[in-house]
Amino acid sequence: MFWVENKSLFIISTFVQMPRFNFNDTRNILGKLTFRRLWNGVKVLGSYYASRISNKPIQWGYPVSISFEPTTSCNLRCPECPSGLRAFTRPTGMLHNDFFRKTIDEIHKELLYLIFYFQGEPYLNPDFLAMV
């Protein structure tokens, strides 16, 4: 009984925290969905379950979503950010446009979602708008 009550509480709190359904976002992402991207998603999900069942790392398909980081540099100094603190363990620099182009050319038919941000200020990369 206690477990059921906790589960109900969890479900309620999950719904309370869920973002509202956005028709435009949903229509936009469904408009990008092709059979190839859907099949890639099925392969990625299948590899997840195959890995869980076999207890071995199995990877099918390409990433469904990726995040590019146009630059690790930033002109601000936000204290919670490795870029702002200049505390990266990797080099600070700009993503090269030819590397970006080569990667996108390889995976764009499977890729459903692309984010142009991780850390750093994307507009500091002089090629940023050409990438977009």
Nearest to 69 by CA among 120, 132, 123: 120
CB neighbour burial string for 82-98, b if at least 16 within 10 angstroms, e if fewer = bbbeeeeeeeeebbeee
From the list 76, 87, 89, 132, which residue makes contact with ligand SF4 (rule: CB under 6 A)? 76
Binding characters for ligand SF4, 103-122, by CB under 6 A (x = yes): ----------------xxx-
Quick check: 84 binds ligand SF4 (CB under 6 A)?
yes
For residue 87, what are its two tokens?
């505390």
First to last CA, the chain: 53
Counting DSSP H helices and E strands in the chain, the numbers are 5, 2
Quick check: 78 binds ligand SF4 (CB under 6 A)?
yes
Quick check: 83 binds ligand SF4 (CB under 6 A)?
yes
> Which range of residues in 2-10, 24-32, 81-89, 99-107 is near ligand SF4 by CB under 6 A?
81-89
- Give the binding-site size for ligand SF4 (rule: CB under 6 A): 9
CB of 47 to ligand SF4, least distance (A): 32
CB of 121 to ligand SF4, least distance (A): 5
If you search the block for the tokens 């099949």, which residue do you land on? 39
Quick check: 73 binds ligand SF4 (CB under 6 A)?
no
Nearest to 111 by CA among 96, 100, 120: 100
Residues contributing to the site for ligand SF4 (CB under 6 A): 74, 76, 78, 81, 83-84, 119-121
